[in-house]
Amino acid sequence: MTTPNLFLIYVTDVERATRFYSDLFDMEPVAVTPRYIPYEVAPGVIFALWSGRGDTVTGTTPRTSEIGLMLSGSKAAVDDCYSKWMAKGVTVVEEPHEDVFGRTFVVADPDGNLIRVSPVD
């Protein structure tokens, strides 16, 4: 069986993005290279920042996908996360609201990549 185990986020400034994601998710990378910063988010599963295609991925490149953080708990868990991230100065794309899958909100990283917080499915 083949399952995805590497999730790349294209960024234009890998140092800025590393600071953003390390602070936002309170995690440290497993390695640091000039253009590739991997975080192990589960055994054998890597979430990585990649600026190696900086010549084709610019600040004006539209970001059409989302990464997600699914939280256990009630609506309060989503709202608590929103409050904590607001205190960090994140860019809000969608404020907390109800959707078909429950309470959710969306923020953007410095490059415009989207991050959705929602309850566990």
Q: Are residues 87 and 114 in the same domain?
A: yes
Q: Please give the residue range of the domain that contains residue 93.
A: 65-121
| Beta carbons of 39 and 47 less than 8 angstroms apart | yes
Do residue 118 and residue 72 come from a single domain? yes
- Is residue 39 located within the same domain as residue 75? no
pLDDT tens digit string along 64-119? 788 999 999 889 999 999 999 999 999 999 999 999 999 999 999 998 999 999 99
Indicate if 40 and 76 belong to the same structural domain. Answer: no
Radius of gyration of the chain (CA): 15
Whether residues 69 and 121 share a domain: the answer is yes
CB environment 18-46: b (16+ within 10 A), e (fewer): bebbeebeeeebeeeeeeebbbeeeeeeb
- For residues 15 and 49, membership in a common domain is answered with yes
Domain count along the chain: 2
> For 68, left (φ over 0), alpha (ψ -120 to 50), or beta?
beta
Same domain? For 120 and 99 the reply is yes
d(CA 51, CA 97): 33
DSSP state of 61: S
Asked if the structure places residue 100 within a domain, the reply is yes
**11-57 pLDDT per residue, tens:** 989 999 999 999 999 999 999 999 999 999 999 999 999 988 666 66
Instruction: Give the CATH number for residue 25.
Output: 3.30.720.120
In a domain, 60, yes or no: no
Q: Is residue 58 part of a domain?
A: no
Query: Do 20 and 44 share a domain, yes or no?
Result: yes
Q: Is pLDDT of 120 > 80? A: yes
Q: In what order do the strands lie in the sheet with 91-99?
A: 66-71, 114-119, 102-108, 91-99
What CATH number corresponds to the domain at position 92? 3.30.720.110
